[in-house]
Every structure is written in structure tokens, then in C-alpha cells.
Amino acid sequence: MEKQVSEGGIGRCSLGELYDPFSAAATYDIFAQARSEDPETYSAQITLSPATPFTDEVLATLKEGGFASKSEVDLVAEIFYEFPAHILFLILGIPDSDVRKIKQWADNRLFLTFGQLTPAEQLKCAKDMVAYWHYTEALVEQRSTSPGDDYPSQLLKLRDDDDSILTLNEIVSVVFGLLLAGHETTTNASANAFHTLLTHRENWQMICADPGLIPNAVHEALRFKSSVVCWRRKTMKSVEIAGTQIPAGANLLLALGSANRDEDRFDDAHVFDVMRKDANQNISFGYGKHFCVGAPLARLEMEVLLEEMTNRFPEMRLVEDQDIDIIRTIAFRGPTRLLVNLGV
């Protein structure tokens, strides 16, 4: 099977060859390749085993955080910013001491790819991306000599020094991608969910009274206000969509947020309703072979957040008249802060 980016590809390709924002890193599905090589051991259950069930240390962020003693709390700063990263880093075998550094690198990567930066800001973010990549290379290299029970070690074991299965560059690329996608989108999705539920307070009250509604509330929050509102794709062949002919090789920006509010697909699509029976039909995590590999973990994290916070703070309310500032990118959406009164 021919592979687009060879071992050590960064040293051999120009930037244009290495990075096309409308193309994947490889011309084939790396995850499907991994599953086909070892379907018994390459699974979501095994991959998530270092982090699930959530450890006491992870849950202590919610149960023992210093925010509980405050009358007014910024949920993004106190909980949502780091909580998903702590869980992901258990899976990837990264120490908690690196959370802030990697979160900052991830933010810069988002802004560099999807934001509007000045030339000076672009240069700083580009330098951070080099450090980010080298960090990932060092992590994979360390696991190649001292394997653990984490995800990079699983990929290296699967590779078994055979480039026809996976190259080292591909493993580094996958880990590099997960170090962003595995937490940044969940941070924003959690903030969006709480903002939406507290804005539509009758729905908040419903899940407080009946926690069994929380899984569907997560689906509905993802449908109503996704953390990724659009995504890039390149057509592999000519296709007609809704009477419009799109040629092969065309760059597309898919409006996921619009699809999730499609009146032809969802009744009263612009109404937020945690009782919606088809809320799980949203495409916030993509669709088909491009469905997000981390979707089950992201939903689980959001469920745990809602279960804990509705149980402890059922009277939580948004601080009135606050300005909700949204991160400034074309694809990702989420409030940079979310002020609440805990009601205790």
C-alpha cells in the first residue's frame, strides 16, 4: 500500500508538500490499517483502559477543586480547560505537569490553522509548532525504548519495526493530532453545553431532576451548538449535491453546524430540547469512515461533568449581563470564559 509521507518526511518535503490543509496526512486510513493488522488488541476499550474508569485523581478536579468555595466561578478556567487534557494524557502517557504547556501549544495550533493572526503572531505560533512536533517525536522515541500501557506504546507494538504496517512518522503524526483533537474540542463542547443548558434553564432543571436524561442532553448539546462548526474536505471524484456540480479535487468547507440545524432532518431544529428523540443523529463528530475516533470518550467526559455538577450545584446560574467572547477561529467554537453563580 503506497504511503504519501515517508519516514522522516519532515526533513524530505517542502512545507507545501508536507502540509495541505484540505488533505489528510496519508492517502489511506491509518486507523483502519491498525485495526486490520490486530483487530483483537487494537480497540477503543483497550486504548481507553489507562483512563477509564476515571481515577480518583482525575475526579478530584471536580470534587475537590477550589472553585467550590467561590460564589462566582469561571467554569472554563476552573474546570473545562484542563479536565479533558488530564484524561487524554493518561491515555497518551504524558505527565500532568505538561498540561498547561501542551494546552498552549494546542491553542496556538488552532489559531495558526484557523484563526486570523498578525505576521508576528504567526511566526511565534509556527515556532511553537516545531517545539510541539519535537515533543511528540521525543515521546514516541522514549516509548520505543521504554514501552508502557499507553496509546503510543500500543501503536509501536503493533508496528513491530515494520514500515509496511505503520511508519514512525505516521505514529508521531497520529499522536501529534490527538494532542490537539483529544482535548481542545471537548473543552469547547463542555463550555457550549453548560452555556446552552443554563440559558435554556428548563432543560437544566430537567436533567437535575432526572440524571438519566444526561446522555441524550449531551447529544442534543452537541447538535445544537457543536464545538466544531465546519471542517475541510477534498472531493475524490465529481459529485452533484442539491443540484450543484462539484468537480473532483475541489476544496470544500463543510458546515457541520448548519447540517445539525437542518429543518429537513430535525423537527424544530432551532429548538434546544434534551428530550429530542433523534439528537444522536447529529454529525458533530463527522460521519462514516471519518467519524471521530475520540467521540465516545468526549461524550463520556461531558456526561461525567454534567452528572457531577448537576448533583452538587443544581441551583447554578449564569452570571447576568456577561459578555460571552467566542474563540476567534473559522472552525472551532466555544466561550473563552463562562461565569456562573454556583447557588450555594
pLDDT tens per residue across span 74-83: 999 999 988 8
| Residue partners of 47: CB distance under 8 A and separation at least 6 | 91, 151, 154
Whether residue 8 is contained in a domain is answered as no
Whether residue 9 is contained in a domain is answered as no
The better pLDDT of the pair 86, 229 is held by: 229
Q: Which of 110, 102, 67, 72 is nearest to 85 (CA)?
A: 102
Mean pLDDT of the 209-237 span:
95
Mean pLDDT of the 298-326 span:
93
CATH number, domain at 206?
1.10.630.10
Give the pLDDT band (50/70/90) at residue 50.
low
Mean pLDDT of the 92-101 span:
86
Q: How many CA atoms lie within 13 A of 309 on its CB side?
A: 29
Whether residue 39 is contained in a domain is answered as yes
Angle between helices 184-199 and 295-312 (to 10 degrees): 40
For residue 168, pLDDT over 60 is answered with yes
> How far apart, in whole angstroms, are the C-alpha atoms of residue 84 and residue 91?
11
Buried-exposed string 232-260: b where 16+ CB fall within 10 A, e elsewhere = beeeeeeeeeeeeeeeeeeeeebebbebb
Looking at residue 64, its pLDDT comes to 59
Looking at residue 9, its pLDDT comes to 32
Number of domains in the chain: 1
Whether residue 224 is contained in a domain is answered as yes
Whether residue 147 is contained in a domain is answered as yes
Question: Residue 197: which domain range?
Answer: 22-341
Mean pLDDT of the 128-142 span:
93
Contacts 24+ apart (CB under 8 A), 208-213: 208/310, 208/314, 211/307, 211/310, 211/311, 213/274, 213/275
Looking at residue 192, its pLDDT comes to 97
Looking at residue 92, its pLDDT comes to 87
Q: Which of 19-33, 44-58, 212-226, 235-249 has the lowest mean pLDDT?
A: 19-33
The cell 515517508 sits on which residue? Answer: 6
Looking at residue 7, its pLDDT comes to 33
Mode of pairing for the β-strands spanning 317-318 and 339-341: antiparallel
For residue 152, pLDDT over 50 is answered with yes
Whether residue 91 is contained in a domain is answered as yes
Looking at residue 339, its pLDDT comes to 97
Whether residue 6 is contained in a domain is answered as no
Looking at residue 1, its pLDDT comes to 31
Whether residue 10 is contained in a domain is answered as no
The better pLDDT of the pair 297, 69 is held by: 297
